[in-house]
Amino acid sequence: MVTSTRAPITPPVLRWARETSGYTVNEVARRMGKSPDDVAGWECGQGQPTVRQLENLARILKRPLATFFLPTPPEAGPALPKDRRRLAQGATSYTPALRYEIRVARYRRRVALDLYEVLQENVPEFSLSLSVEQAPEQAAEGLRDALGVSIEEQLSWRDGRRALHKWQRAVEALGVLVFQTESSRYSVEVAEMRGVALHAKRLPIILLNGRDALAGKTFTLMHELAHLATGSEAVCDLESESDPEIYCNAVAGRLLVPRADLEMQIAARGYVGQEAQDGVIGELARDFSVSRETLARRLADAHHISKQTYQRKRVQYQEAWQKQKSSREPFPVPREIMCLRDNGPTYCGLVFDAYLSGSITPGDAARSLGTSIAQLGDARDRWLARAQV
């Protein structure tokens, strides 16, 4: 009879890995097809998993296999950011998927700091500062000035993908790293998180939900930038009624759709004095490259539609998006494109600059980008093609 090889793991490390990943003993046991007593026993030193079971544990908890052989659990890392979501009843913590994405974002930041040193470049400091005492209009004007995007440039885009790309570039030019979560059906749900702001003096992070709509990501980008400028960290779903969330929503809306420019576009289209209908809202949303919901909110702020009309249209647009998303056929996107999207322009630039200069190995570059060495060449070629545009 052949006995399976047991893995001499460190029980407290297994418990640490499970708890910090956001899983209960029962959840891990269910995913492994084992009893909770087996998993609890491994954590108490009563028995050991087989090597194959340990490999499964590492996959579930998203930890390197070597982690489980450390003599003691690693020191506590940064605390999770403040939860500013309006959670459904019974939802009280971050899911394992969200915890993982926050962990990956912080890992990328550490890599970026190391790469600046390897490349002998100065790490940019994030110096943008806002006070919540400022009126949202004034704060929005200050952020737009810092971003250096004129309203004429914005109105020339008329495309959600281009707008997100341009705004992301402008935000990263302020010394911010912008990442996106994976967009598979196993990743973070939009209902759980639209964005995360992780504050730091050097290389703060904005994490966008990769499953969100393009215009939704753009609004979240500005919302989280407002959080960083006020010196705060947060996990947001943009639905919360808390004061900080209301303030950041107001700043983001006014930044993307300034009141004076909205009035000019309305007048130019001959809509003055009319209760805006869906066609009008859609046209104006395309003008500013924002969602219909964002545009409707700004129309309500400017008293072009009633608050009741806005609330009705908001529900209508959200239901339409959910229906469109559920009926849309999955469209396979090349992995190298998703690699560049999720890692963001600044981070990708640092990794490829170090790789192409011979400062890091292909293995280091692939690991830093979360891809394979086999796919690194395609990602590099796409990056170089984009850099030349």
Say how far apart CA 7 and CA 69 lie, in whole Å.
Answer: 9
Query: End-to-end alpha-carbon separation of the chain, Å?
Result: 64
Q: Cβ(60)–Cβ(23) under 8 Å?
A: yes
The reported pLDDT for the residue numbered 338 is 93
Specify whether 308 is located in the same domain as 377: no
Q: pLDDT for 95-150, tens place per residue?
A: 999 999 999 999 999 999 999 999 999 999 999 999 989 999 999 999 999 999 99
What pLDDT sits at residue 134? 93
Q: Are residues 316 and 337 in the same domain?
A: no
327 or 305, higher pLDDT = 305
pLDDT of residue 90: 44
Confidence at residue 272, expressed as pLDDT on a 0 to 100 scale: 64
Question: By C-alpha distance, which of 254, 35, 213 is closest to 130?
Answer: 254
Q: Same domain, yes or no, for 50 and 171? A: no
**pLDDT value of residue 1:** 40
Place of tokens 């506590």: 76
The beta strands (E) that lie in the chain are given as: 177-180, 195-198, 205-208, 234-236
Once rounded to an integer, what is the mean pLDDT over residues 311-319? 90
Token pair for 190: 């939009």
User: Are residues 313 and 343 part of one domain?
Assistant: no
Residue 92 has pLDDT above 60, yes or no: no
> Pick from 345, 349, 351: which is nearest to 164 by CA?
345
Q: What pLDDT does residue 100 have?
A: 95
Q: Do residues 32 and 82 touch, judged by C-beta distance below 8 A?
A: no
Q: How far apart (Å, rounded) are the C-alpha atoms in residues 284 and 272?
A: 13
2 band by pLDDT with thresholds 50, 70 and 90:
very low
Residue 249 falls within a domain, yes or no? yes
- The answer to which of 10-14, 208-212, 218-222, 314-318 has the lowest mean pLDDT is 314-318
Domain count, the chain: 3
pLDDT at 236: 86
Distance CA 257, CA 287 (A): 10
Answer yes or no: is pLDDT of 215 > 50.
yes
Same-domain status, 193 and 295: yes
**C-beta separation of 43 from 25 below 8 A:** yes
Distance, CA of 188 to CA of 342 (rounded, Å): 13
Residue 339: predicted pLDDT: 94
Which helix (H) or strand (E) element contains residue 33? none
Mean pLDDT of the chain: 91
Q: Are residues 318 and 262 in the same domain?
A: yes
**Amino acid in position 342:** D
Instruction: Please state the φ and ψ torsions of residue 208, each to the nearest 5 degrees.
Output: -100, 150
Answer yes or no: is pLDDT of 83 > 90.
no
pLDDT tier, 275 (very low <50, low <70, confident <90, very high otherwise): low
Question: What is the model's pTM?
Answer: 0.92
Q: Tell me: the pLDDT tens digits for 322-379?
A: 887 776 666 678 889 999 999 999 999 999 999 999 999 999 999 999 999 999 999 9
CA distance 385 to 148: 25
**pLDDT band of 89, cuts 50, 70, 90:** very low
Containing structural domain, residue 62: 11-69
Query: Please, are residues 222 and 149 in contact by the beta-carbon 8 Å criterion?
Result: no
Q: What's the order of all strands across the beta sheet hosting 205-208?
A: 177-180, 205-208, 195-198, 234-236
pLDDT band at 56 (very low <50, low <70, confident <90, very high): very high
- 149 and 275 share one domain: yes
Is there a single domain that holds both residue 63 and residue 15?
A: yes
CB atoms within 10 A of CB 316: 14
pLDDT of residue 330: 62
Q: What is the pLDDT of residues 256-274, one digit of tens each?
A: 999 999 999 998 887 766 5
More confident: 186 or 294: 294
Task: Tell me the C-alpha distance between 382 and 341, whole Å.
Answer: 11
Mean pLDDT of 197-205: 96
Please indicate, yes or no, whether residues 259 and 293 belong to a single structural domain of this protein. Answer: yes
Pairing of β 205-208 and β 177-180: parallel
Mean pLDDT for 193-212 is: 96
Nearest Cα neighbor of 43 from 75, 13, 73, 5 is 13
Both 299 and 354 in a single domain?
no
Could you give the 3-state DSSP secondary structure of residue 236?
Answer: strand
153 and 284 assigned to the same domain: yes
- Residue 131 maps to a domain: yes
Looking at the structure, do residues 239 and 271 belong to the same domain, yes or no?
yes
